[in-house]
Protein backbone atom coordinates (compact mmCIF):
# COMPACT_ATOMS: atom_id res chain seq x y z
CA UNK A 1 0.00 0.00 0.00
CA UNK A 2 1.19 3.45 -0.85
CA UNK A 3 0.59 6.19 1.71
CA UNK A 4 1.05 9.91 1.32
CA UNK A 5 1.27 11.75 4.63
CA UNK A 6 0.85 15.53 4.57
CA UNK A 7 1.42 17.97 7.39
CA UNK A 8 -1.28 20.66 7.31
CA UNK A 9 -0.59 24.15 5.99
CA UNK A 10 0.48 27.06 8.20
CA UNK A 11 -2.00 28.14 10.89
CA UNK A 12 -2.64 31.18 13.04
CA UNK A 13 -1.20 29.20 15.99
CA UNK A 14 1.94 28.27 14.04
CA UNK A 15 2.56 31.97 13.45
CA UNK A 16 1.97 32.75 17.14
CA UNK A 17 4.09 29.78 18.31
CA UNK A 18 1.19 28.22 20.26
CA UNK A 19 0.20 24.60 20.82
CA UNK A 20 -3.22 23.20 19.91
CA UNK A 21 -4.74 19.75 20.22
CA UNK A 22 -8.36 20.72 20.94
CA UNK A 23 -10.53 20.55 17.79
CA UNK A 24 -13.06 23.02 19.26
CA UNK A 25 -10.55 25.91 19.28
CA UNK A 26 -10.38 28.19 16.24
CA UNK A 27 -7.02 27.20 14.82
CA UNK A 28 -7.21 27.70 11.07
CA UNK A 29 -5.06 28.04 8.00
CA UNK A 30 -3.53 31.45 7.35
CA UNK A 31 -3.38 32.89 3.85
CA UNK A 32 0.03 31.21 3.58
CA UNK A 33 -1.51 27.94 4.82
CA UNK A 34 -4.21 28.11 2.13
CA UNK A 35 -1.51 28.78 -0.48
CA UNK A 36 0.44 25.75 0.79
CA UNK A 37 -2.66 23.54 0.75
CA UNK A 38 -3.43 24.58 -2.83
CA UNK A 39 0.18 23.92 -3.82
CA UNK A 40 -0.03 20.42 -2.32
CA UNK A 41 -3.35 19.85 -4.08
CA UNK A 42 -1.74 20.73 -7.39
CA UNK A 43 1.21 18.41 -6.69
CA UNK A 44 -1.08 15.50 -5.82
CA UNK A 45 -3.88 16.10 -8.31
CA UNK A 46 -3.04 13.11 -10.52
CA UNK A 47 -2.42 10.69 -7.65
CA UNK A 48 -5.10 7.93 -7.70
CA UNK A 49 -6.02 7.96 -4.00
CA UNK A 50 -8.70 5.53 -2.91
CA UNK A 51 -9.02 6.84 0.66
CA UNK A 52 -8.39 10.06 2.55
CA UNK A 53 -7.94 10.39 6.32
CA UNK A 54 -7.64 13.48 8.51
CA UNK A 55 -7.48 14.26 12.22
CA UNK A 56 -10.33 15.95 14.08
CA UNK A 57 -8.46 19.26 13.90
CA UNK A 58 -9.86 21.95 11.58
CA UNK A 59 -6.42 22.68 10.08
CA UNK A 60 -6.09 19.15 8.71
CA UNK A 61 -9.65 19.21 7.39
CA UNK A 62 -9.05 22.56 5.67
CA UNK A 63 -5.85 21.29 4.07
CA UNK A 64 -7.62 18.11 2.93
CA UNK A 65 -10.51 20.11 1.43
CA UNK A 66 -8.12 21.78 -0.99
CA UNK A 67 -6.45 18.50 -1.92
CA UNK A 68 -9.80 16.79 -2.29
CA UNK A 69 -10.99 19.28 -4.92
CA UNK A 70 -9.21 16.99 -7.38
CA UNK A 71 -10.25 13.65 -5.85
CA UNK A 72 -13.81 13.98 -4.51
CA UNK A 73 -13.29 11.26 -1.89
CA UNK A 74 -15.17 10.86 1.36
CA UNK A 75 -12.91 12.30 4.06
CA UNK A 76 -12.55 9.94 7.00
CA UNK A 77 -11.83 11.51 10.39
CA UNK A 78 -9.69 9.55 12.84
CA UNK A 79 -8.78 10.92 16.31
CA UNK A 80 -5.56 8.85 16.30
CA UNK A 81 -4.24 11.42 13.81
CA UNK A 82 -4.76 14.33 16.24
CA UNK A 83 -1.81 16.37 17.48
CA UNK A 84 -0.26 15.54 20.85
CA UNK A 85 -2.50 16.45 23.79
CA UNK A 86 0.45 17.47 25.93
CA UNK A 87 -1.34 19.65 28.48
CA UNK A 88 -0.07 22.91 26.96
CA UNK A 89 -3.22 23.92 25.08
CA UNK A 90 -2.93 27.53 23.90
CA UNK A 91 0.51 27.91 25.47
CA UNK A 92 3.85 28.55 23.82
CA UNK A 93 5.34 25.54 22.07
CA UNK A 94 8.76 26.67 23.36
CA UNK A 95 7.53 26.31 26.96
CA UNK A 96 6.46 22.73 26.32
CA UNK A 97 9.77 21.90 24.62
CA UNK A 98 11.77 23.42 27.50
CA UNK A 99 9.81 21.51 30.14
CA UNK A 100 9.82 18.25 28.16
CA UNK A 101 13.53 18.46 27.34
CA UNK A 102 14.40 19.18 30.99
CA UNK A 103 12.57 16.05 32.17
CA UNK A 104 14.48 12.84 32.91
CA UNK A 105 12.96 11.16 29.82
CA UNK A 106 11.61 13.52 27.14
CA UNK A 107 10.08 10.63 25.18
CA UNK A 108 7.78 9.55 28.02
CA UNK A 109 7.31 13.03 29.53
CA UNK A 110 3.81 14.07 30.65
CA UNK A 111 3.18 17.42 32.35
CA UNK A 112 0.30 15.77 34.27
CA UNK A 113 -1.28 12.33 34.41
CA UNK A 114 -3.93 13.06 31.75
CA UNK A 115 -1.49 14.54 29.22
CA UNK A 116 0.01 12.55 26.36
CA UNK A 117 3.68 11.81 25.94
CA UNK A 118 5.47 11.56 22.58
CA UNK A 119 5.47 7.80 23.20
CA UNK A 120 1.65 7.83 23.44
CA UNK A 121 1.40 9.56 20.05
CA UNK A 122 3.72 6.94 18.54
CA UNK A 123 1.47 4.16 19.89
CA UNK A 124 -1.72 5.63 18.43
CA UNK A 125 0.01 6.35 15.11
CA UNK A 126 1.19 2.72 15.02
CA UNK A 127 -2.36 1.56 15.80
CA UNK A 128 -3.63 3.62 12.85
CA UNK A 129 -0.98 2.13 10.53
CA UNK A 130 -1.78 -1.41 11.72
CA UNK A 131 -5.49 -0.89 10.95
CA UNK A 132 -4.66 0.72 7.61
CA UNK A 133 -2.64 -2.35 6.57
CA UNK A 134 -5.77 -4.48 7.09
CA UNK A 135 -8.04 -2.13 5.11
CA UNK A 136 -7.44 -3.28 1.56
CA UNK A 137 -6.73 0.24 0.32
CA UNK A 138 -4.03 0.63 -2.31
CA UNK A 139 -3.24 4.37 -2.19
CA UNK A 140 -4.09 6.48 0.87
CA UNK A 141 -3.74 10.18 1.69
CA UNK A 142 -3.35 11.17 5.34
CA UNK A 143 -3.43 14.79 6.52
CA UNK A 144 -2.15 15.20 10.06
CA UNK A 145 0.02 17.28 12.39
CA UNK A 146 3.74 17.46 13.09
CA UNK A 147 3.99 14.86 15.85
CA UNK A 148 2.07 12.22 13.92
CA UNK A 149 3.94 13.03 10.70
CA UNK A 150 7.22 12.47 12.52
CA UNK A 151 5.98 9.15 13.90
CA UNK A 152 4.77 7.91 10.52
CA UNK A 153 8.34 8.40 9.32
CA UNK A 154 9.79 6.81 12.47
CA UNK A 155 7.59 3.71 12.27
CA UNK A 156 7.82 3.11 8.53
CA UNK A 157 11.54 3.88 8.23
CA UNK A 158 12.47 2.08 11.46
CA UNK A 159 13.91 5.23 13.03
CA UNK A 160 14.46 5.75 16.75
CA UNK A 161 11.62 8.05 17.91
CA UNK A 162 13.75 9.38 20.77
CA UNK A 163 16.24 10.82 18.29
CA UNK A 164 13.60 12.64 16.25
CA UNK A 165 11.82 14.44 19.12
CA UNK A 166 13.07 17.87 18.04
CA UNK A 167 13.14 17.18 14.31
CA UNK A 168 11.71 20.11 12.38
CA UNK A 169 8.76 19.19 10.16
CA UNK A 170 7.76 22.17 7.99
CA UNK A 171 4.13 22.95 7.30
CA UNK A 172 2.89 21.37 4.08
CA UNK A 173 5.60 18.68 4.17
CA UNK A 174 4.81 15.53 2.15
CA UNK A 175 5.98 12.00 2.96
CA UNK A 176 5.38 9.17 0.48
CA UNK A 177 6.04 5.58 1.55
CA UNK A 178 5.04 2.00 0.85
CA UNK A 179 3.80 0.03 3.85
Packing angle, helices 31-44 and 58-68, rounded to 10: 40
What tens digit of pLDDT does each residue of 150-177 get? Answer: 999 999 999 999 999 989 999 999 999 9
Under 8 Å between Cβ of 142 and 81: yes
CA distance 48 to 137: 11
| CATH classification of the domain holding 165 | 3.40.50.1240
Strand order in 75-77's β-sheet?
A: 75-77, 51-54, 139-144, 2-7, 174-178
pLDDT of residue 65: 98
Look at the chain and report how many structural domains it folds into.
Answer: 1
Q: What is the pLDDT of residue 166?
A: 86
- What is the mean predicted confidence (pLDDT) over 44-73? 98
What is the band of 128 on the pLDDT scale with cuts at 50, 70, 90? Answer: very high
- Per-residue pLDDT at 94 exceeds 90: yes
**Average pLDDT of the segment spanning 120-138:** 98
Q: Which residue range(s) make up the domain with 96?
A: 2-178
Amino acid sequence: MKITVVRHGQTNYNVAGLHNSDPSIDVHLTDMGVFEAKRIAEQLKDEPFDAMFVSELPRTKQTAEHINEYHKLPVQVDARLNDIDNGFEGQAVKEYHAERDASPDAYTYRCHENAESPEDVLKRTKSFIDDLKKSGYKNVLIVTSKHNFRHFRNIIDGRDPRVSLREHIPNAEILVREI
